[in-house]
Amino acid sequence: MQESPFAVVAKPGDRVADLSTPRPIIDEDRMERNIARTQAYMDQHSLNFRPHIKTHKIPALAAAQIAAGAKGINCQKISEAEVFAAAGFEDILITFNIIGAQKLERLGALNDQISDLKVVADSITTVDGLSSYFASTKPLTVLVECDTGGGRCGVQTAEEARTLARRINDLPGLTFGGLLNYPKPSSAEAVQAFFSKALSLLQTDGIICPIVSNGGTPSLFEAHLVSAATEHRAGTYIYNDRSMVRTGHCSEDDCAMHVLATVVSRPTVDRAVIDAGSKALTSDLLGFSDFGKVVGYPEAVIAGLSEEHGVIDLSKCGDRRPLIGEKVRIIPNHTCVVSNLFDTMVFHREGVVTRVESVAARGLVW
Amino acid sequence: MQESPFAVVAKPGDRVADLSTPRPIIDEDRMERNIARTQAYMDQHSLNFRPHIKTHKIPALAAAQIAAGAKGINCQKISEAEVFAAAGFEDILITFNIIGAQKLERLGALNDQISDLKVVADSITTVDGLSSYFASTKPLTVLVECDTGGGRCGVQTAEEARTLARRINDLPGLTFGGLLNYPKPSSAEAVQAFFSKALSLLQTDGIICPIVSNGGTPSLFEAHLVSAATEHRAGTYIYNDRSMVRTGHCSEDDCAMHVLATVVSRPTVDRAVIDAGSKALTSDLLGFSDFGKVVGYPEAVIAGLSEEHGVIDLSKCGDRRPLIGEKVRIIPNHTCVVSNLFDTMVFHREGVVTRVESVAARGLVW
């Protein structure tokens, strides 16, 4: 993505404290620790690890994840996969039901371009659509998406998984790649039960299941409890956020992303207004009742957001309250959606800018 | 903004029904009606009208608003104003407290570039910062932001407004431009009371108040009830959205923006999953308990969003339920934040694409 002539770009050596706000910033040291810690856990349990790039959308970061030991990457849409294929990634799993002539054509081009493209399907409609396109070209690998309790996409039972796997196996143009889910947090037992039942049904049919892919950052460190799985996928872990602190997945000191904001108004004793609103922090609550955590002001509550203003309730704070012009750091509720709002991401070590990366896979229509 | 090589761009003549999803689309006829209806109302009541470009961030649309009779435009941040100044707009009001050396420098460059730049301030800190920069260059026009009940920025009383107006009047480099508020909906009486009291205090001091600027789409058609106001600002009215239907501001047939999405999964009888999640619709609830309205399926409830999936509860629907592969149109809860997620916007008349515009002022860091 080309940099806009209107973008205010930081450069290495700049002090983060001097940057224009609002702006998300990434602490390189914390990010590196998050990458290393997660990969070490996966290595310890002999699980393949597949980072989900939706969180950062930056090829250089995926390269660091691969360099640390990750097997391949996970994308959520074709446009993301296109950007990362162009950057040289060969093992890409798109965890989405791909439907419609236009998308199939782009998927075909991607499949020709890289060595190891995989997608998922949870219905006959999706599978038949894929087969009708790929029958006359390089075959596509398809995993069956299973709903092990997450309540999103996925076949509902192990029997349905078997039926769909058979169909993938039988139809021209497709290779059965395995099973996949997006679980609800802390449901290792249910995931294991679903996968092991499906695996035994596939074994009965003589269908080989190369991959069993479990996912999610919230359940990342429970991944070893699902012995049926061959790999785990996670995205948020690289930056972490307030929702991950709540699950006990990490501490606030593991949160690599902060949204830097400036206090622009103090209309009353109990109210501060910052220049970060829903177009910087997003409205994602993820179960919280407020819109992020202000570092250094634990009693401050980001009570409301309009598009470019955040209203902070200071009524529970003591005498020390942020002043007009003061810059504050906010741990966002959900890091992945913040990345998606900005064309560039600034990285730093101990407050000094190290690099500025283009958030290459954002703003695209699929 | 340069188009990404990975963007899937529609072209005039394409059928909207064939476009790749998820994608926001704008009905030109409805948009034109919204522009005309609002301008006619303002003309009828002899109010200047200042559209807020945060909703669309597209210079061509602001040009249409000016052509219809709008006096100037309203931006919410410097980067927006920079994009619109470069596109030739001369009368720009930035409704934000501008603080900090970097922003002041950019504001100075803007002020040199266009003939009629205005900003707001609600504190001595902001006003003194502006004066210290503009004392040695072309003077800047500053309005006093008043909190007439909106609970965001703004001085709290008419007396405070007078004090700040005096300071702007007295300090070098600044010209007092008037009063401004962002009201809570349906509060015309309180707005009128605040402004008329402040105006009489200013009159006592012999301070001329050229502009009294009231704002908001929810209270747009009550603008005439605030006789103290000389102008009204509104953004959302150009596209409209579900929240505007709820306030009675418009009907669903006045909503020019739809998010086009495809049903990609039907895991159960009562569940449909679409390819529009929080990265297409945003998580803005604006008081609703669900994430948008599915056109043609009034009983369908978009109950949950993950980043690229929307989960629709069909349990209240009759026998006719959306099928896998079916494209649906969604009226978003909040249109302004949807615009902000996409690099391009597709326009159509009766389902045939008329043009594709770059959402020029999005993705920038202030």
Mean pLDDT of chain B: 96
Contact predicate B217/B37, CB 8 Å: no
DSSP character for B250? S
pLDDT value for A219: 83
pLDDT value for B4: 67
A311 vs B contacts (CB less than 8 Å): 151-152
- φ and ψ at residue A15, rounded to 5 degrees: -85, 130
Which H or E element spans position B3?
none
Contact predicate B132/B169, CB 8 Å: no
A147 vs B contacts (CB less than 8 Å): 267
Terminal C-alpha separation, chain A: 15
In single-letter form, the type of residue at position A8 comes to: V
Terminal C-alpha separation, chain B: 15
Q: Which residue of B has its CA nearest to A155?
A: B267
Q: Which residues in A243-279 are b (16+ Cβ under 10 Å) and which e?
A: bbbeeebbeeebbbbbbbbbbbbbbeeebbbbbbbbb
Nearest to B76 among A77, A155, A307 (CB): A307
Contact A306 B152 (CB under 8 A): yes
Nearest to B279 among A86, A304, A340 (CB): A340
Distance from CA of A284 to the nearest CA of B (A): 5
CATH 3.20.20.10 segments of chain B: 45-240
Distance from CA of A88 to the nearest CA of B (A): 15
Distance from CA of A305 to the nearest CA of B (A): 9
- Tell me if chain B has a CB within 8 Å of the CB of A151: yes
The residue behind tokens 């957001």 is A305
From the list B133, B116, B124, the residue with the least C-alpha distance to B174 is B133
From the list A284, A296, A275, A304, the residue with the least C-alpha distance to A244 is A284
Contact B342 A365 (CB under 8 A): yes
> At CA A301, angle to CA A300 and CA A307, rounded to 5?
125
Contact A364 B18 (CB under 8 A): no
- Tell me if chain B has a CB within 8 Å of the CB of A192: no
Distance from CA of A68 to the nearest CA of B (A): 26
The fold adopted by the segment(s) A45-239 is TIM Barrel (3.20.20)
What is the percent of chain B where pLDDT is above 90? 93
| Residues of chain A predicted below pLDDT 50 | 1
**For residues A25 and A359, what is the distance between their CA atoms, to the nearest angstrom?**
12
SS3 B47: coil
From the list B318, B313, B361, B314, the residue with the least C-alpha distance to B340 is B361
Domain B16-25+249-358 belongs in CATH node 2.30.30.90: no
Nearest to B103 among A20, A100, A341 (CB): A20
Sign of CA dihedral B65, B69, B74, B75: positive
Q: Which residues contact A254 (CB under 8 A, 6 or more apart)?
A: A30, A33, A34, A240, A244, A245
**For residues A160 and A121, what is the distance between their CA atoms, to the nearest angstrom?**
12
Which H or E element spans position B29?
helix B28-44
A126 vs B contacts (CB less than 8 Å): 264-265, 324
The pLDDT tens digits for B14-27 are 999 999 999 999 99
Q: Which residues contact A342 (CB under 8 A, 6 or more apart)?
A: A23, A24, A359, A362, B363, B365
Number of other residues whose CB lies within 10 A of the CB of residue B304: 17
CATH 2.40.37.20 segments of chain A: 16-25+249-358
CATH 3.20.20.10 segments of chain A: 45-239
Contact predicate A360/A53, CB 8 Å: no
Distance from CA of A44 to the nearest CA of B (A): 30
pLDDT value for A30: 98
Contact predicate A166/A205, CB 8 Å: yes
pLDDT value for B318: 96
**For residues B17 and B41, what is the distance between their CA atoms, to the nearest angstrom?**
34
pLDDT value for B3: 56
Distance from CA of A338 to the nearest CA of B (A): 10
Pairing between β-strand B91-97 and β-strand B73-75 as defined by DSSP bridges: parallel
pLDDT value for A366: 63
pLDDT value for B1: 42
Contact A129 B325 (CB under 8 A): yes
Contact predicate A96/A119, CB 8 Å: yes
DSSP character for B156? S
Contact predicate A305/A281, CB 8 Å: yes
Contact A267 B79 (CB under 8 A): no
Is 0.90 exceeded by the ipTM? yes
SS3 B262: strand
Nearest to A77 among B19, B265, B308 (CB): B308
B120 pLDDT higher than 60: yes
From the list B331, B359, B337, B245, the residue with the least C-alpha distance to B282 is B337
The pLDDT tens digits for B191-241 are 999 999 999 999 999 999 999 999 988 889 999 999 999 999 999 999 999
pLDDT value for A218: 84
Domain B45-240 belongs in CATH node 3.20.20.10: yes
- Contact map slice: B 329-358 vs A, CB within 8 A: 336-337, 340-344
**Confidence at B188, pLDDT banded by 50, 70, 90:** very high
pLDDT value for A1: 42
Nearest to A324 among B76, B123, B275 (CB): B123
Pairing between β-strand A116-121 and β-strand A174-181 as defined by DSSP bridges: unpaired
Nearest to A20 among B155, B337, B365 (CB): B365
- φ and ψ at residue B24, rounded to 5 degrees: -75, 140
Nearest to A99 among B22, B262, B336 (CB): B262
Contact B2 A6 (CB under 8 A): no
Q: Which stretches of B100-216 are assigned E, i.e. beta strand? A: 116-121, 140-146, 174-181, 211-215
- Tell me if chain A has a CB within 8 Å of the CB of B279: yes
Sign of CA dihedral B25, B266, B252, B182: negative
- Mutate one of B119, B181, B264 to test the A interface: name it (highest A CB count within 10 A): B264
**For residues A67 and A190, what is the distance between their CA atoms, to the nearest angstrom?**
33
The residue behind tokens 């005039």 is B12
Nearest to B267 among A154, A267, A363 (CB): A154
- Contact map slice: B 45-84 vs A, CB within 8 A: 54, 76-77, 79, 82-83
A183 vs B contacts (CB less than 8 Å): none
Average pLDDT over residues B271-288: 96
**For residues B109 and A194, what is the distance between their CA atoms, to the nearest angstrom?**
62
Contact A266 B123 (CB under 8 A): yes
